[in-house]
Structure 1
């Protein structure tokens, strides 16, 4: 098959989506398929990523709310690229503008390509529930944003399937009236994260950076400094838990919106911000050398970093909604009320008191890999496209 992924969230400075796409380019090509990613970029250019794998950057403006991203603004230009690529399957990784553009393209062009909406984003959880959750129930917010659910139902009618990365998201989408949703959890990079990478000396260094000794609990958090990640709340939770026992927290990430996080940390010497770690092997060592991972975002559709922590042998402390919660609950982790620093602190203390955490504890847990996810996705496409023009294991 020839698969084109129209991915509005793919950016050189991205996190989970970039990791996912980079692996997809390798994995699908290795399985004998052709994969092309179309992404918004600074200029029109094409980048070869190996046999049968390419990225086509489409010149696009910066997204005004987060200038590390761009967005597809030229419908005709995107349609022209899709015409040129003539794929068997077109995936879209955003429920917004690009999904509507792709649906319009198939209707205009008469293409027989299958359309697949990959749920990489959960906008209501990231924004509406976070903004209004203190004054209204989720059901009331959904009613107020019924225009968004109507939009999703239109996409559900126009696309051949909607791929959800977690059981909880699938349930929400079905409750919202979508009928073509199937669950295909994502996963970790194969062979990258492992508890065997734990380094006692590195753990001591990280705790020393937090002004603490080896008897302290070492928490790690990984992610960009965006409001929905709630790092200010996570920092507050670590400080509250730190009044009961020694707790160190390292937050690895970057972004322009650090001020709230810095203000929340204040003069607490036990919470430190570290720059993003681009070296995946180095990140795997850091993660394996911590005691637990804490996450603040309830809007994750899957949560790569939680899966990576589990693969590293860590206990996951997560909010009680979203993909991170699904992973924590399935792997003996702890959950707390979303956005509640006091409840998060109590979850930290509960984990600290567990026999399942600490420097002597390491688990080799079976964990789903990205390749497992891709194999399931290809199986779905093969079932619904029985006579592909691009046969697995052959040339086009």
Structure 2
């Protein structure tokens, strides 16, 4: 019904949520599929990059991780700008620039150009994930945010399911047009971001009152319910400014737990192909297909578990349980053969993507307005230093020991710490 209808119409919350999910999530998931594909596709090209560019495993790990330094540093400013100018314009801008830089990775010449392009890619993509996390708080109440976050994170799983086989096929184009296979991979996988950006510009509404799929009464009712929750949580927590965010013990606790989880995510993202390569004589396509398997389970975790996190107590228990799953899964991957090891990585992937959508409900339950935008970016900024630390330690340990598996024990150790810390998480209006 159009917004200027004579009688206000407000559909039941469950029906309304279904409409919003269908209208917003496919487009956002598509953007994140391309985003994660473009930041992690160097994993499948690791061996060729080392041969063609003459870089060591440590240098590869540094280059993989440098993305997260510039990405992290730009996140808080990016989210504060998004809060002011709206998601439609800002996400479009992000996608065009990162698509061009990602395609430009095809022209790196050695270690230093590899480092520089990875840093530029991090700066270009900064703000997409925390921007969407903040954007979704403007469309869903607390009971539905973890589910929405989980559906968005299906983009990561889809990228890691589709990316390795696609990358393996593109690597096979080596020699065509006088270019290496990894050059074709960067070109082919980078440019779709620019194309999808124009769809985002045309289809993504900034706020509920701009959405053609909601009536005026529905938009007003939704915003009222969300505002009431946000104000109650912020009032109970007493955190109302960015300076207070940096001193809020619960926000710092979220940061610490998220940091350990991100170390696990990116250790697996960047080094799983080379670990699977130790399982036997496998082609690039076979390695790509096996690399996809744990990410199928990651998608299941993101889809099935977060919808259960409807309040603070359930959210905390689910975060702790899934962190235990990460520890057990990576330990199995470190000590077992190909079959049980791959099962362990499947358990780890299921667990850390079941956990990630839930962890962002904790700052969202304590903050509101620009402080919420900046606070979510702050959590992601510090957490993503794990995206540097995980690949760096994995690469350094491989060079030191000669084993691709040795760095997994570092991941297990930090995730044990994260598991213990998760026991103390609280939503904004939840008593200790």
- TM score, norm. by length of structure 1: 0.27
More strand by share: 1
Which protein is richer in helix relative to its size? Answer: 2
Return the TM-score normalized by structure 2: 0.25
Higher relative contact order (CA 8 A, sep 6+): 2
